[in-house]
Structure 1
Amino acid sequence: MKNHCFEDEEVVSPAPAGQPDDPFRRRLLAAGLLAGASLPLPALAASVGRASGSLQHFSSLSTSTEDLVRVGHDYASQLLYAWGDPVSDGPRARADAGDDAASQRQQAGMHHDGMHFFPFMEYGKPSSTHGLLCINHEYTDDGLLHAGGMHDWSADKVAKSQAAHGVSVIEVRREAGGWQVVRPSSWARRVTADTPCRIAGPALGHPAMRTHMDNRGNLVLGTLNNCAMGVTPWGTYLTCEENFNGYFKAPAQASAEHKRYGINAKTSGYRWHEFDERFDLEKHPNEANRFGWVVEIDPWNPGQAPVKRTALGRFKHEGATCTLARDGRVVVYMGDDERFEYVYKFVSRDRFRPGQTDNGSLLDEGTLYVARFDDDGKGRWLPLRHGKKYAGGALTAESGFADQGDVVIRCRQAADIAGATKMDRPEWIAVHPANGDVYVTLTNNTQRGTAGKSGTDAANPRPENSFGHIVRWQEDGRDAAAEAFTWDIFALAGDPASANPQQRGSVRGDSYGSPDGLWFDSNGHLWIQTDVSASTLNKGEYAAMGNNQMLVADPSSGETRRFLTGPVNCEVTGITSTPDGRTLFVNIQHPGESPSERADPGKPTAYSAWPANQFSEAVGGRPRSATVVITRRDGRPVTG
């Protein structure tokens, strides 16, 4: 473990006598310290209006093909929480992956993605040394997850795969030697693909949500393919179900509804349906409708069931970024991560009420919108409201939308009718903490020039968009609830040395491709994380790019500097910080991923041995997704 030095180190202690811990106040502060989640934009701008995003404290790191996490000389990295590490007082993973499902339920899941740090309150202020960390576990590589991989496939292996999905809630504390997971912890828990969840919002009790196992349509087992995330103003965690389609086996003749969401008879190779019949749509045709939602988890209430908030629409959710409108209504920005899909936002009907205990219901009533980016740099938010008429049709019973439940369940089809702009894989969305400008990553799309596909438009200008881009917009009146906005392209990613002018991009400073993760720190720096696939990394147009990376950008100037590079074939994704900015938590997903996506169980370290090759305390035997801690060696804030 590397040595960490901190100046003005904060003493960690419980609330003193006479100052009882207030869980609700703790939640408000936990949320409000990041991205303006609990403050109206005008009030927030007054508090951080001088945030310039200047990069004067950051130097550039070179590209890398090493099997390591690399940061600059002024910084230190530490391994915190890897796949197979105990959540609380459970067993630690075996190096040969011989753990069973019961053990996996007590361990970190696979493929860490979005996350957030929720600080405890100590002496009346949010702690930067003690908190809860919520971490998504997106999917599994069953070639690595099991001893023997997918050979001798069984109900036990399905149960372990399901246990490796979902979310971890862990308690973390900074000690003299660095950050540690607190074990045992009464706060810690795992949410998996078998955890009972409530359904709320317009789809609650809807006929399309009912199954043989739940004939009322109000409960569902599990959450899966948990990708990016959001944080509510009341201090809860929003985890987002993305590529849920690949877990379900459709009938040989898949319906139009299934096809619109990419559900087919082939599946994505998880093979859960062979031993868990709810993933066989011939037997349970509505089960797939119960996934593809934003799921709310209260980290401060381990006994409370997660809630699927259906008013936010059903699609391949990449994230759910929260802010407040000028009048206090809650606004949630979301991307649908697939080629030619859409950008959405939800605006609550009612206002956020500080101090109230039922703010979660704000996400059940409101208006869901989808974005149209016009070629003149203007844009409109198109309401997906039952009964609404558009040139392409109407969201009425005649078009198959009998009520708002149908609209949210068949959200993609509703957005098609509205005439929204088909985007190049909308992923993470971030809101500037001072001025409210909104940024979205469009990871890539090489199919716009393909016959029968949508052609280019101003917001998606490249027919062969190998490198992706970032679009930025400003809501009219700087009000997040506005129905109109102006937009521009913040950056076209690419290689400035490319012989192909279409692929050179417009990035000022260090180049990158396939932007994915996106996050603002409290000083107005825009952090960008990349997700180039293992089959593309360091090949062809990406030959000079190196491994996936994390960069920091100045939104005012567009200048970008490389801050971190990841190990071989990983994705860099998920970022959060302590309130004082002295600690960054960053996730490394699927190091050593095979270009064929599932590892050869006989050669688990064929591409990477990380993190055991870098951190002596790591369990070896195979590469492991993990959360790393980044600090400055001089103890100053990492965020400048």
Structure 2
Amino acid sequence: MAKHDIDPNYLDPNYEPVVNHSENLPFHQVLSARMQRRAVMKGTVGAALASVMGLGLVACGSDSDSDDETASGNTQTPGTTERALGFQAVPVSMDNQVVVPEGYSSKTFLPWGTPITGSYPDYRADGTNSGADQEEQVGMHHDGMHFFPIDQKSGGNSSTEGLLVMNHEYINQKAIHAEGATYNADDSRPADEVRKEIAAHGVSVVHIKQDANGEWDVVFGSALNRRVTGGTEMEIRGPVRGYHKLFTKFSPNGNRTRGTLNNCSMGPTPWGTYLTAEENWHGYFANSDATQPREQIRHGVGSESRYDWELADNKADQYVRFNVSALGGSASEDYRNEANTFGFMVEIDPFNPESMPQKRTALGRFGHEGVIFAPAKEGEPVVCYSGDDSRFEYIYKFVSSKPYYAATAGGYLLDEGTLYVARFNEDGSGEWLALDLEDPAFAGKVDAAKGTTVGDVAFDGFENQADVLLNTRLAADIAGATPMDRPEWGAVDPNTGEVYFTLTNNTKRTEDQVNAANPVAQNKNGHIIRWQEAGNDYTAGSFEWDIFVFAGEQGTETVVDGDAVVTLNDDNIFNSPDGLWFDYNGRLWIQTDGYSDEPFGNQMMLAANPETREIKRFFVGPQGCEVTGVVTTPDSKTMFVNIQHPRGNWPNAAEDRPRDACVIVTRNDGGVIGA
């Protein structure tokens, strides 16, 4: 049945229903003795001020709490010159345009519908491109991205030619079709509309090059240009490969699937490939059965899907698979397990267009926002981190079993290892809890939980390690992880080794649910947390953490040991931190995806010096957008920033519909961005 009266929240691909009902809140009534919470009024607006533990982390201290010394960090300490923010902060804006600092320029690039492969079909502004056209054009709703120098595989670092690889998270049905999504009289959907919507998801690999005048363009005809869509065949790798809960009519042995969906952030690997994250994939499937398996319950799969792809009128197998009800006599006769092949990190080799994408199951199955790798060291394990972007979900770490050697490194390193989940203690310490049946502590908790109800799941144990990874959220509930305020992007400081994560917001957290790492009830503005692994060893089982900054209005303070180390002002107020990236000079770039009410204006990107905590607004997007995805060329002189779901007719006022696009930012004098 088509959706005519469905909950409007469910139609929003950014809507993340609270599905963690485990009450796994080990610190909900305990705050550190050094934790202070108070409110300071700015006019009629209360700015929430919270203090956190001083843990001796790099740059966490301050000698004064006076506004003129702490504020946006207008002081510098020795050795921080390379991270200095040498631009004038831009003001907030509510205009339908991009704003960058004085001395900088911006231009749009690679908007949705740009032809990049095959027959290079032109974009039609009236929305009449076909599904086949969209399979050869840049997808919709740009998100995370990375620039790979064209000579990277041979050890080079070209800043004038490379592969720009970007995710496409979801779609705007009103814009993608001439008249929006349509339905037939029997409530089925036209098959080509469904094909087009699936093709607008996924990943674009675009070969780009700078000309003699410094202008960037697509290298048309390049064999490296590629689209990976929601219908591209993919291989299942790692411990979940071949597990019976992945058996489908398409892949009776559970080794393959089709497509990657709701691709949010990403992570470049140390061996030069691209990992794309599957985040809010649950909404693409429909299950009308009276009961659902825990693999769907813990993720929020509903009785109706977001786009009704399963209702395509040609009833093609590639579309009916989105109906995950038990319709056949066994799993190999229907698609009851199709949703179990989503929720992973997917590896794509941008330099090998014939290669099949690989779903790396050892990294866990949940709402991956992205992945960030610790610096790879010769002869040591590979370590990476990922956040589960939903309210009250968790932060994870993967440590490979096999060591990294640059000469032979590849995706196989992500197929064997241990997945951990983070517990943030109230005293500023933290632990990594292994989600491994071979780990005695975890196995003991699993045994103790058998026969009980964990959240909404009647728990009867795990069959094997594949079952643990398929039910990563449930395993983390049982392990005792700390539920966080929507952990999103991560970044590793190249100078100190500290790991940063954005906690975007969580308006569902009550006063009884606050803890030291998430100390604000009804947290509508969010914050950024960071930690240092014990001994600066990324494989360590423990860490020390603090809060880098609380987002909010003017006057919002971040306090350490009684001293205000950041006080937000007109130059850096922000809410809902989302995207996060360290550039090649060690500046931290913070992107937002929140609300655009006064006083914040449109969504934005700020730069931070992590040593001094100086923060300045660098970029403001057009109306209605999310500012997401940022990377520069290796010389730091060209910056690429993505604009997702803009409003109106941005970027082309002459067209009737909006187009997601990348924005190229450069300094007018040709210098380093941000310096």
TM-score bracket for the superposition, by shorter chain length: 0.7 to 0.9
2:160 corresponds to 1:150? no
Identify the match of residue 406 of structure 1 among 444, 450, 467. Answer: 467
C-alpha distance in 1, partners of 2:465/2:190? 40
Helix, strand or coil at the partner of 1:253: coil
Pick from 145, 149, 155: which aligns with 1:115?
145
Cα distance per residue 1:106-155 (max 9 Å; x no partner): 00100000000000229973210000011100011111111111123311
Question: How many angstroms does 1:181 deviate by?
Answer: 1.3
- Aligned counterpart in structure 2 of residue 435 of structure 1, from 484, 489, 496: 496
Is the aligned partner of 1:631 residue 2:666?
Answer: yes
Could you tell me how far apart the structure 2 residues matched to 1:290 and 1:224 are? 11
- Which string of whole-angstrom CA distances, capped at 9 and with x for unpartnered residues, describes residues 235-266 of structure 1? 00000000000000022534243221011113
Structure-2 separation of matches of 1:513 and 1:626:
23
Q: Following the alignment from structure 2 to structure 1, what is the Cα–Cα distance between the partners of residues 567 and 85?
A: 21
**CA–CA distance in structure 1, aligned partners of residues 308 and 620 of structure 2:** 34
Amino acid at match of 1:68: Q
Structure 1 segment 591-602 matched on structure 2, within 5 A: 591-592=646-647
TM (norm. structure 2) is 0.80
Equivalent residue number for residue 446 of structure 2: 393
Amino acid at match of 2:510: G
Corresponding residue SS for 1:393: helix
Match of 1:253 among 290, 310, 319: 290
Q: What amino acid does structure 1 have at the position aligned with 2:344?
A: W
Q: Within 1, Cα distance between the matches of 2:664 and 2:478?
A: 45
Other structure's SS at 1:258 match = helix
Letter in 1 for 2:90: L
Give the CA deviation at 1:325: 5.9
C-alpha distance in 2, partners of 1:289/1:225?
15
SS of residue in 2 equivalent to 1:367: strand
Tell me by how many angstroms 1:620 deviates: 2.7
Aligned residue in 2 for 1:222: 259
Per-residue deviation, 1:277:
1.2
1:559 aligns with 2:618: no
User: Higher mean Cα deviation, 87-96 or 285-294?
Assistant: 87-96
Partner of 2:159: 128
CA distance in 2, matches of 1:252, 1:492: 44
Shift of 1:324: 3.6
CA distance in 2, matches of 1:576, 1:416: 34
Moved more, 276-285 or 92-101: 276-285
* Match status 1:310 vs 2:361: yes
- Give unmatched runs, 5+ long, in structure 1: 1-48, 593-607, 614-618
- The aligned residue for residue 198 of structure 2 is 162
Mapped partners of 2:112, 2:471: distance in 1: 35
Tell which deviates more after alignment, 64-73 or 84-93.
Answer: 84-93
Taking the aligned partners of 1:420 and 1:306, their CA distance within structure 2 comes to 31
- Structure 2: any 5+ residue segments left out of the alignment? 1-77, 184-188, 313-318, 328-334, 452-459, 560-564
Conserved? CA contact 1:252–1:264, under 8 Å? no
Alpha-carbon separation, structure 1, partners of 2:450 and 2:209: 54
- The match for 2:541 is 483
Q: Is 1:171 aligned to 2:207, yes or no? A: yes
The answer on 1:383 being equivalent to 2:444 is no
**Distance in 1 between the 2:177 and 2:362 partners?**
37
The farther-off stretch of 196-205 and 271-280 is 271-280
Q: Is this contact kept in 2: 1:139–1:165, CA < 8 A?
A: yes
> In 1, are the aligned partners of 2:270 and 2:376 still within 8 Å (CA)?
no
- Aligned residue for 2:530, secondary structure, equals strand
> Does the CA-based 8 Å contact 2:430-2:542 persist in structure 1?
yes
Q: 1:560 to 1:496 in 2, by over 3 A?
A: same
Q: Distance in 1 between matches of 2:556 and 2:83?
A: 28
What residue in structure 2 maps to residue 456 of structure 1? Answer: 514
- Counterpart residue number, 1:523: 585
Q: Match of 1:628, as an amino acid?
A: V
Per-residue CA deviations over 1:192-232 (Å, capped at 9, x if unaligned) read 01100010000000001111221010010111101000011
2:556–2:567 contact (8 Å) kept in structure 1: no
Report the CA distance shift for 1:417/1:100 in structure 2 as closer, same or farther (over 3 A): same
The partner residue of 1:367 within 388, 396, 418 is 418
What residue number does 1:537 align with?
A: 596
- Relative to structure 1, the CA distance from residue 498 to residue 551 in structure 2 (aligned partners, 3 Å threshold; closer, same or farther) is closer
1:547 to 602, 605, 611: 602
- Partner secondary structure for residue 659 of structure 2: coil
How far apart are the structure 2 equivalents of 1:494 and 1:259? 34
Q: Partner residue of 2:129?
A: 99
Q: Structure 1 CA distance, aligned partners of 2:222 and 2:176?
A: 26
Matched to 1:196, the amino acid is: E
2:634: which partner in 1?
Answer: 579
Q: Which amino acid aligns with 2:662?
A: T
What is the CA–CA distance in structure 2 between the aligned matches of 1:95 and 1:469, rounded to whole Å?
39
Looking at structure 2, the residues matched to 58 and 482 of structure 1 have their Cα atoms a distance apart, in angstroms, of: 38
Q: What CA distance in whole angstroms lies between the structure 2 residues aligned with 1:325 and 1:185?
A: 31
Specify whether residues 474 and 106 from structure 1 end up closer, same or farther in structure 2 by C-alpha distance, changes over 3 A only.
same
State the partner residue of 1:45: none
How many residues matched? 557
Query: Which residue of the partner structure matches residue 467 of structure 1?
Result: 525
Contact 2:372/2:385 (<8 A) preserved: yes
Instruction: Note the alpha carbon deviations across 1:315-366, whole angstroms, 9 max, x for none.
Output: 000011112466521111100000000000101011111111x621000000
Amino acid across the alignment from 2:651: P
In the alignment, is the contact (CA less than 8 A) between 1:238 and 1:296 conserved in 2?
yes
What are the superposed Cα offsets for residues 39-84 of structure 1, whole Å, 9 maximum, x if unpaired?
A: xxxxxxxxxx956564341210000000001101211112110000
State how far apart, in whole Å, the 1-side matches of 2:96 and 2:446 are: 52
Structure 1, residues 168-189: CA drift from partner, whole Å, max 9, x if none? 0000111115111111211000
CA contact (8 A) 1:249 1:266 kept: yes
CA distances 1:540-595 after superposition (whole Å, capped 9, x unpaired) = xxx20000000001111211100000000000000111010000010000001xxx
Q: What is the rounded CA distance, in whole Å, between the counterparts of 2:192 and 2:217 in structure 1?
A: 31
Distance 1:354 1:497, change over 3 A: closer
Which residue of 2 is the match for residue 83 of structure 1? Answer: 112
Whole-angstrom distance in 2 between the partners of 1:424 and 1:572: 20
Cα deviation for residue 506 of structure 1 reads: 5.0
In 1, Cα distance between equivalents of 2:262 and 2:155: 37
Matching of residue 622 in structure 1 with residue 657 in structure 2 = yes
Aligned to 1:71, what secondary structure does the other structure show? coil
1:280 aligns with 2:323: yes
SS at 1:125 equivalent: coil
Report the CA distance between 1:414 and its aligned residue. Answer: 0.2
> Distance between the aligned counterparts of 1:518 and 1:214, measured in 2?
37
> C-alpha separation between the residues in 2 aligned to 1:253 and 1:321?
39
1:352 aligns with 2:404: yes
Q: Look up the match of 1:68.
A: 97
Shift of 1:387: 4.2
**What amino acid does structure 2 have at the position aligned with 1:320?**
V
Deviation of 1:87 after TM superposition, in Å, equals 1.3
Alpha-carbon contact 2:534-2:542 (below 8 Å) kept: yes
2:88 corresponds, among 49, 53, 59, to: 59
Equivalent residues of 1:442, 1:516 under 8 A apart: yes
In structure 2, the CA distance between the partners of 1:56 and 1:551, relative to structure 1 (3 Å rule), is closer
Please say if residues 52 and 524 of structure 1, whose CA atoms lie closer than 8 Å, have aligned partners that are also in contact. Answer: no
Alpha carbons of structure 1 residues 419 and 397: separation in structure 2 relative to 1, 3 Å: closer
